[in-house]
Structure 1
């Protein structure tokens, strides 16, 4: 569901997506909106998929940092 401003430009949605907790919160929001009929299920599915991809990047990035620290200690 995209909302448009009077100028015809889509409004920009901002959400903090820096941690897995942020991702979880946003996924829950998308789920609740979909269950409530506020957003299309297909759109919600796409948004959840994107959020999962961002979450995986966070995990991979954190693992990469931890491995680098361990290697530096050797």
Structure 2
């Protein structure tokens, strides 16, 4: 009896999650992809994987340089 209720409970949860996912996918498809904000510095996804890898590398290097600059400014 306990096993039956467990399985039924799991089925109810799966059905609810499925309905929510379907609703979210329909809402996303109806709205389309929003363009990035004009003040955003993030690049739109696209281009070749090599270009994306280069962009990530540059972003990481810039973040490391900023962190090093902050650390050196904080030292007495």
- State TM-score, norm by structure 2: 0.42
Bigger relative contact order (CA 8 A; separation at least 6): 1
Of structures 1 and 2, the larger Rg is shown by 2
